[in-house]
C-alpha cells in the first residue's frame, strides 16, 4: 500500500498541473472502493487547478470553483501521466484530461482506492478527515503529543504508530523501519514506553519518512511515480522483507525475524530492539 512517502512523492510530481485546466473527466469504472460520484464530471469540467497537496495518505486537488478532488491510492493504486491520445490500459479507471494535452490516469488493479469530489471549505469535516491524527511533519507533532498518546495505551507500539487517528501516513513498511531505527521492539506496549524512548521514536519517524521521500518512496509491487519510474527506498531497507538476514552493529550480529501482528508481517531484530 502506498504510504506517506509514496503519496508525498506523487503530490510533488503533480506540482506542474497547477494553473492547468481540467478539460474533461472520463470514468471507465466507477465500482472501486466507494462508487465514484458521477457529478465529478460536471463539477470538474473546465476548472482551473489551484493547488495539489497531501493530507495523510490522501491526494487533494483544489479547483477554482471551491471544490476539491480527493484521491486515495488504496492497496495498489497509482497515478500515471500520459499524452491525451494514448489509449487506456487495463485497470485504468479514471482520466483527467488537462489543457496541456496530457492526462492524469488513476490506475488501481485491486480497486481499494477512491476518488471523490467535495466542497473545499468542508474538507476537514468530511468522513475522510474527521477525527484524524497529526501529520508527522506538522509542527504540532512533537514529543509531548506522542508520549501523551502512547503512555496510556495497552496496544503494541507498532499498532500505535500505524493508527491514523494518532499519526497520519505510516503503514506496515515504514513502521518496521522506524522501530528498528529507534531500537524499540514492535511488541512493546505503549504504556511501557518512557519519555526518552518517545523522543527517539519521534526522531526516527521524521528521519525515516524524510529519507524515504528523498528516495521517491518504495516500489515493492504496484507503486511507481507518475512518469513510470520506480521508487528507490526499497533498496536500502534495514529490516523490512529481510527475514533471516543479519545486521552487524558495534561488532554484534543480530538476526532479523518475521512475526505476525494484527494479520500483518512485522520485521525486526530482537537483539537490537528492546
Task: Note the pTM of the prediction, 2 decimals.
Answer: 0.95
Q: Where does CATH 3.20.190.10 sit in the chain?
A: 4-125
CATH fold group of domain 4-125: N-terminal domain of MutM-like DNA repair proteins (3.20.190)
Look at residues 137, 132, 117 and name the one whose alpha carbon lies nearest to residue 44: 117
β 47-55/78-83 pair status: unpaired
Q: For strands 246-249 and 114-119, give the pairing.
A: unpaired
> Tell me, what DSSP letter sits at residue 31?
B
Please identify which of the residues 5, 8, 57, 186 carries the catalytic annotation: 57
- CATH 1.10.8.50 domain span(s) along the chain: 143-268
Report the mean per-residue pLDDT for the chain: 96
In tens digits, what is the pLDDT along the chain, a chain of 274 residues?
A: 799 999 999 999 999 999 999 999 999 987 787 889 999 999 999 999 999 999 999 999 999 999 999 999 999 999 999 999 998 888 999 999 999 999 999 999 988 899 999 999 999 999 999 999 999 999 999 999 999 999 999 999 999 999 999 999 999 999 999 999 999 999 999 999 999 999 999 999 999 999 999 999 999 988 999 999 999 999 999 999 999 999 999 999 999 999 999 999 999 999 999 9
Cell 469530489 belongs to residue: 117
pLDDT digits (tens, 9 = 90+) for 197-237: 999 999 999 999 999 999 999 999 889 999 999 999 999 99
Q: Which residues contact 133 (CB under 8 A, 6 or more apart)?
A: 56, 163, 164, 165, 166, 167, 168
* Cα 40 → chain centroid: 24
Residue 197: active-site member: no
Which is nearest to 72 in space by CA: 178, 164, 149? Answer: 164
Residue (of 81, 34, 130, 45) closest to 229 by Cα position: 81
Is residue 253 part of the annotated active site? The answer reads no
> Is 6 considered catalytic here?
no
Task: Spot the catalytic one: 3, 95, 177, 197.
Answer: 3
At 33 the pLDDT is 79
CATH number belonging to domain 143-268: 1.10.8.50
Q: Which pLDDT does position 11 carry in this prediction?
A: 98
In the set 2, 5, 136, 186, the catalytic residue is 2
Strand-pair partners of 59? 54, 71
Count Cα neighbours of 238 within 13 Å in the Cβ-side half-sphere.
21
Dump pLDDT digits (tens) for 110-133.
888 999 999 999 999 999 999 999
| Cross-sheet strand order for the sheet of 67-72 | 78-83, 102-107, 92-98, 21-27, 47-55, 58-63, 67-72, 114-119
Instruction: Give the number of other CB atoms < 10 A from CB of residue 176.
Output: 28
Exactly one of 45, 111, 192, 264 is catalytic; which is it? 264
Q: Extract the C-alpha cell encoding 195.
A: 519519555
Does 139 participate in catalysis according to the annotation? no
Q: What are the cell numbers at 30?
A: 466507477
Amino acid at each position: 500500500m502506498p504510504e506517506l512517502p509514496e503519496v508525498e512523492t506523487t503530490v510533488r510530481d503533480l506540482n506542474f498541473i497547477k494553473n492547468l485546466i481540467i478539460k474533461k473527466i472520463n470514468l471507465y469504472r466507477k465500482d472501486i472502493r466507494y462508487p465514484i460520484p458521477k457529478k465529478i464530471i460536471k463539477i470538474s469540467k473546465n476548472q482551473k487547478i489551484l493547488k495539489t497537496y497531501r493530507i495523510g495518505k490522501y491526494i487533494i486537488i483544489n479547483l477554482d470553483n471551491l471544490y476539491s478532488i480527493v484521491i486515495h491510492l488504496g492497496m495498489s493504486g497509482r497515478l500515471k501521466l500520459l499524452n491525451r491520445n494514448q489509449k487506456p490500459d487495463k485497470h485504468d479507471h479514471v482520466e483527467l484530461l488537462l489543457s496541456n494535452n496530457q492526462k492524469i490516469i488513476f490506475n488501481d488493479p485491486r480497486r481499494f482506492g477512491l476518488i471523490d469530489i467535495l466542497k473545499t471549505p468542508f474538507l476537514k469535516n468530511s468522513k475522510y478527515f474527521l477525527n484524524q491524527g497529526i501529520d508527522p511533519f506538522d509542527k504540532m507533532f512533537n514529543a509531548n503529543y506522542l508520549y501523551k498518546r502512547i503512555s496510556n495505551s495497552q496496544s503494541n507500539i507498532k499498532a500505535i504508530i500505524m493508527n491514523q487517528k494518532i499519526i497520519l501516513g505510516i503503514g506496515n513498511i515504514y513502521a518496521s523501519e522506524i522501530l528498528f531505527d529507534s531500537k524499540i521492539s514492535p511488541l512493546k506496549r505503549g504504556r511501557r514506553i518512557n519519555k526518552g524512548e518517545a523522543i527517539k521514536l519521534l526522531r526516527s519517524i521524521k528521519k525515516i519518512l524524510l529519507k524515504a521521500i528523498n528516495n521517491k518512496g518504495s516500489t515493492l509491487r504496484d507503486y511507481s511515480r507518475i512518469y513510470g519510474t520506480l521508487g528507490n527506498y526499497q533498496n536500502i531497507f534495514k529490516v523490512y522483507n529481510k527475514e533471516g538476514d543479519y545486521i552487524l552493529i558495534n561488532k554484534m550480529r543480530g538476526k532479523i525475524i518475521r512475526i505476525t501482528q494484527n494479520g500483518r508481517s512485522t520485521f525486526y531484530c530482537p537483539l537490537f530492539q528492546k
